[in-house]
Amino acid sequence: MKWLFSGVLCLLSLSGAAEEARRPNVLVVITDDQGWGDLSSHGNADIRTPVMDGLAAAGARFEHFYVSPVCSPTRASLLTGRYHWRTGVSGVTRGMETMRAEEVTMAEVFGPAGYATGAFGKWHSGAHYPNHPNGQGFAEFTGFCRGHWNNYFSTTLEHDGVDFQSEGYINDYLTDKALAFMQGHAGAPFLCYLAYNTPHSPLQVPDPYFDAAKARGLDDEHAAVYAMCENLDHNLGRLLGWLDEAKLAEDTIVVFLGDNGPNTDRFNGGMRGRKGSVHEGGMRNLLFLRYPRRIPAGTVVPQLAAHIDILPTLADLAGVKLPDPERLDGISLVPYIEGKADGADDRTIYELWGGKRTLRTAQYRWVRESRDPQLYDMHADPGETQDLAEAQPELVEKFTQAYDDFVLPAVDIWTKPPPIPVGYEAAPLVRLDGPEATLNGGLKTFGKHANNSWITDWSNTEDTIAWELEVVKAGDYAVTLQYTCAENNLGARIEASVPGDATTATLTEAHDPGYLPSPDRVPRSEVYERTWASLDLGTLTLPKGDVALTLRATEIPGAIAADVKEVFLKPVSH
């Protein structure tokens, strides 16, 4: 059940004196796979980021800000103020990235306080309503819900659940949409959440940015990554420029951060690790917070801060009441900004990712990647080169116990992904993504990464593809298969079933396309994009409650039945 709450319209200045009542706008910008070292003001001589550098100097710059090692966990913590393992998020695909619908997001805090709420870009916190942005408090959403997107030029996105074809480069387009949202709500407070999806691969970027980076003598990979960051810099400049033109800069809180360490081996300030690592280089990132009316330019915050702190900090600055603050793991960073953070050196930040565990205090990082813990003095050894575990066993034991006591009781919700909701009136069309299914037999997901991939090697009539559903409204649902199949494999008979009902259809139309053109600057590790054909499988009667929908090929006259991208479910009107 969502919490009940109300907005508070009176703000206090940092000095504590009362000011005229006002509610600031909020613009949160998060980038994807941009590491701490991916801007020039952090010492990277190979990149040009004047707007980011200017933003860092215009407000508060946090010197020791930490996120999770990968995308979805960071987003869950940013949106809720809670560690991701409390929200149900334990992965980046196959449904394990889904944040529970009962979690309260920043949109569900600010919306009832009178804010217009819009989300743009990469969601990656659940693709199915009510886990979808529109079910988590954002009145408007344009972007995509999966973690990886196949192409960044003129690609398929969605607007409030309806697919459409975008135009141009994805970052430029998303910036256009965010600007239009802010312009449309310039007369009232807005919360704009803009989640760019670069420099995450595929490494695609417009020629002018790439050519400029190559002219500095960089190889293709470094040039592509830094060019993507420079495009981000340009679009951030567009956002800040509009705030200036609209005379809203003084009354807008701007938050800018990255979601994890760098996704390639590149400059990262000498820190150990990159994306996916629980060492410093995988988790330390940039955080710039600008609010001219409240935060002096040039403020530097040396204390530990984390993604879980963004929501309580925004609520504090905006004078919006948090509904149940004791449930949050994060704290308001306003005392840090004011220089009044008594006891901040005693703070501990925790992380759990893929079996790798870590905690960070002001001085130490404790890590357990295998059976034997590691310990590093981050003051004396910021590169984590000298493991002190054998020399300081008492401290290792203290941190091990602290970690186990704090984290482990909350991870029992990680056992499996949640069922896929079906039957909400706000989202009548439900997509059952291939990688979300349980595969039995010789079936597998194509490629190295599951995001945006498909099911392949369907060669045995005993193989099954099953999705766990939570049907909230019983009824008849049309079932449509998205597939590819070569001419010489036609004739497979596909059955879709739930307990008590089944429907079948035969594949009679070939569809065996190659990959769509993909202007990658270097080869990608993810799958390439294809087009998919539709096969109407008929209608199934779905009972209310938890139910499994299963696909089986009852006849396979060729080498395989088909490759499967997804299944669509849509209620049938009578």
163 belongs to a structural domain: yes
Task: With a cut of 70, say whether residue 17 has pLDDT above it.
Answer: no
User: Could you tell me if 302 and 435 lie in one domain?
Assistant: no
Is residue 209 in some structural domain? yes
Q: Both 190 and 333 in a single domain?
A: yes
Average pLDDT value over all residues in the chain: 94
Residues 296 and 357 in one domain: no
253 domain-assigned: yes
Q: Which two tokens stand for residue 465?
A: 């593809």
CATH number for the domain harbouring residue 493: 2.60.120.260
Give the whole-angstrom CA distance, residue 382 versus residue 279: 10
Give the pLDDT of residue 410: 82
Mind listing the pLDDT tens digit for each residue in 183-196?
A: 999 999 999 999 99
Mean pLDDT within 538-567: 98
Question: Can you give the pLDDT at residue 148?
Answer: 86
Task: Work out whether strand 190-199 and strand 464-471 pair parallel, antiparallel, or are unpaired.
Answer: unpaired
The 3-state DSSP class for residue 10 equals: coil
We report the CATH number of the domain holding residue 353 as 3.30.1120.10
265-274 pLDDT, tens digit per residue, is 999 999 999 9
Residues 324 and 371 occupy one common structural domain: no
Do 282 and 367 fall within a single domain? no
How confident is the model over 447-470, as a mean pLDDT?
96
Q: Nearest CA to 232 among 250, 214, 251, 258? A: 258
CA 572/CA 274 separation, integer angstroms: 48
Q: Residue 22: pLDDT above 90? A: no
Residues in Cβ contact with 25 at an 8 Å cutoff, skipping those fewer than 6 apart:
182, 189, 190, 191, 192, 248, 251, 252, 253
CATH classification at residue 177: 3.40.720.10
- Name which of 279, 285, 214 is nearest 33 in CA terms: 285
Q: What is the pLDDT of residue 574?
A: 65
- The verdict on 326 and 366 lying in the same domain is no
Residues 314 and 379 in one domain: no
Tokens of 530: 């294809």
- Specify if 8 maps to a domain: no
- Mean of the pLDDT values across residues 89-99? 94
Residues 295 and 372 reside in one and the same domain: no
Handedness of CA 115, 121, 126, 130 (dihedral sign): positive
Instruction: Examine the domain organization and report whether 304 and 183 are in the same domain.
Output: yes
Domain boundary among 393, 413, 433: 413
Return the residue matching tokens 């997107």.
149
Contact in structure between 420 and 430 (CB atoms under 8 Å): yes
Shared domain for 152 and 277, answered yes or no, is yes
Predicted confidence (pLDDT) per residue in 209-254, tens digit? 999 999 999 999 999 999 999 999 999 999 999 999 999 999 999 9
The three-state secondary structure class of 318 is helix
Query: What would the pLDDT profile of 395-434 be if each residue is shown by its tens digit?
Result: 999 999 999 999 988 876 566 889 999 999 999 999 999 9
Q: Is residue 71 scored above 90 in pLDDT?
A: yes
Residue 554 lies in a domain: yes
CA–CA distance, 148 with 71 (Å, rounded to integer): 10
400 within some domain: yes
Q: Which two tokens stand for residue 383?
A: 């590169």
Q: What is the 3-state secondary structure (H, E, C) of 528-557?
A: CCCCCEEEEEEEEEECCEEEEEEEEEEECC
Dump pLDDT digits (tens) for 336-358.
999 987 766 789 999 999 889 99
d(CA 117, CA 114): 9
Q: Would you say 565 and 480 are in contact if contact means Cβ atoms under 8 Å apart? A: no
Question: In this structure, is residue 344 part of a structural domain?
Answer: no
Final residue before a domain boundary, out of 338, 364, 382: 338
pLDDT computed for residue 19 by the predictor:
39
For the entire predicted model, the pTM comes to 0.95
Q: Does the structure show a pLDDT above 80 at 13?
A: no
Q: Which domain holds residue 500?
A: 420-571
Establish if 4 belongs to a structural domain.
no
pLDDT at 9: 30
Tokens 């002096």 sit on residue: 296
Q: Is the pLDDT score of 10 beyond 60? A: no
Mark whether 180 and 301 lie in a shared domain.
yes
Last residue of a domain, one of 283, 316, 338: 338
Burial of 315 (0-12, 13-18, 19+ CB in 10 A): buried
Look up residue 510 and give its two tokens. 């070939």
Count up the domains in the chain and report the number.
3
Mean of pLDDT values over 100-119: 97
Residues 281 and 375 in one domain: no
What's the average model confidence in pLDDT over 10-28?
Answer: 59
